[in-house]
Amino acid sequence: MSLLYRPRRLRKGETLRRMVRETALTPDDLILPLFVTYGKGVKKPITSMPGHYQLSVDNIRKEAKEIKALGIPAVILFGIPEHKDETGSSAFDPKGPVQQAIKDIKDKVPGLLVITDVCMCEYTSHGHCGIIKDDDVDNDSTLELLSREALSHAEAGADMVAPSDMMDGRVGAIRDTLDENGFTDIPVMSYAAKYASAFYGPFREAAESTPQFGDRRTYQMDPGNTDEALKEVALDIEEGADIVMVKPALPYLDIITRIKTEFRLPVAAYNVSGEFSMIKAAAEKGWLDGDRAMMESLMSIKRAGADMILTYFAKEAARLLQK
Ligand code: PBG
């Protein structure tokens, strides 16, 4: 039979498939989240996230060297403080685990970019992302705490700050504070479209940040909304965000595509803890090929329009990409 077009012609053999592949994943696309805790010599496994640990600063250094050697350009740091209180005051302790880890990595592992997550939930006794008033997170009084936290990260030497709290106006507040203190060159990566998601489950074990009452639905976005994501992004850009993030990634690929198409600026996607743990658990049971599911997920996030992917798979993926 004579067929003018036979798409299968270009699928014959891996070499040809490589040549016509539209999306390529590289270690440059990846950002690895790390959990920094207090103390020394700590390497506490996170049971729901195989291969991930709460690490003390000395162990973070080792880890950072390995990450750099794999060609991964950046890490994002989350802190587990020794003390939590109502207002999360240890978030801006200059001797806090995150602040120390920033200094240490910048000093000992030059060239690895250090991003910090800016949020109160790891530091508050109630596990919410800001100050509580009348059983809810109070927006405007939280902005000051977030700004102080971001400033303390910049003072410790962070290369970029990433607010994940979803308070209104926080990008502008943080931008102002950084600028007033001479940090005009520190970019803000905002968690712009962050949904109230079940996929954060394993992270809350990792960061010990489960809300002690209620949930985060009064500040994180409703999963049914798309236009609202564009609004959130537009506001964050107006306030000075340099990079905007969509989170989670896989259940929200349409949001990534829409934001990339409408705004044409760097878009990050957070392939969150639950997305990681699902694949790990299924692979452990022998229900799917973990490596292939990982690479396909990361590829699809990039194909959707993400310029960078925050992922707990970063090391494993970088290793496969080096082969
Ligand atoms: C803090 C924060 C969370 C995540 C990143 N920053 C948890 C949350 O909002 O409850 C989740 C990351 C993940 O699941 O991997 N606000």
Q: Is the peptide bond before 94 cis (omega within 30 degrees of 0)?
A: no
| CA-166 nearest atom, ligand 1 | 16
Element (H, E) at 136: strand 136-137
How far does the centroid of ligand 1 lie from the alpha carbon of residue 276, in Å? 13
List the structure tokens of 242: 């340099």
How far does the centroid of ligand 1 lie from the alpha carbon of residue 182, in Å? 29
Nearest CA to ligand 1 atom 7: 200
* Per-residue confidence (pLDDT) for residue 201, from 0 to 100: 96
Residues 160, 179: Cα–Cα separation, whole Å: 13
* Per-residue confidence (pLDDT) for residue 323, from 0 to 100: 77
The two beta strands, 74-80 and 30-37, are parallel
Q: Is 164 in the pocket of ligand 1 (CB under 6 A)?
A: yes
* Per-residue confidence (pLDDT) for residue 44, from 0 to 100: 97
* Per-residue confidence (pLDDT) for residue 293, from 0 to 100: 98
| CA-117 nearest atom, ligand 1 | 6
Contact between 64 and 112 under an 8 Å Cβ cutoff? The reply is yes
Sequence letter at residue 98? V
Measure the N-to-C terminal CA separation of the chain; round to a whole number of Å: 41
| Length of the chain measured in residues | 323
Q: Is 117 in the pocket of ligand 1 (CB under 6 A)?
A: yes
Following DSSP, what letter does each residue of 23-45 receive, concatenated? ----GGGEEEEEEEESSSS-EEE
- Annotated catalytic residue, options 68, 106, 247, 280: 247
Contact between 138 and 219 under an 8 Å Cβ cutoff? The reply is no
| CA-194 nearest atom, ligand 1 | 9
Q: Is 116 in the pocket of ligand 1 (CB under 6 A)?
A: no
Catalytic residue status for 194: yes
> Mind listing the pLDDT tens digit of every residue in the chain (323 residues)?
899 999 999 999 999 999 999 999 999 999 999 999 999 999 999 999 999 999 999 999 999 999 999 999 999 999 999 999 999 999 999 999 999 999 999 999 999 999 999 999 999 999 999 999 999 999 999 999 999 999 999 999 999 999 999 999 999 999 999 999 999 999 999 999 999 999 999 999 898 899 999 999 999 999 999 999 999 999 999 999 999 999 999 999 999 999 999 999 999 999 999 999 999 999 999 999 999 999 999 999 999 999 999 999 999 999 999 97
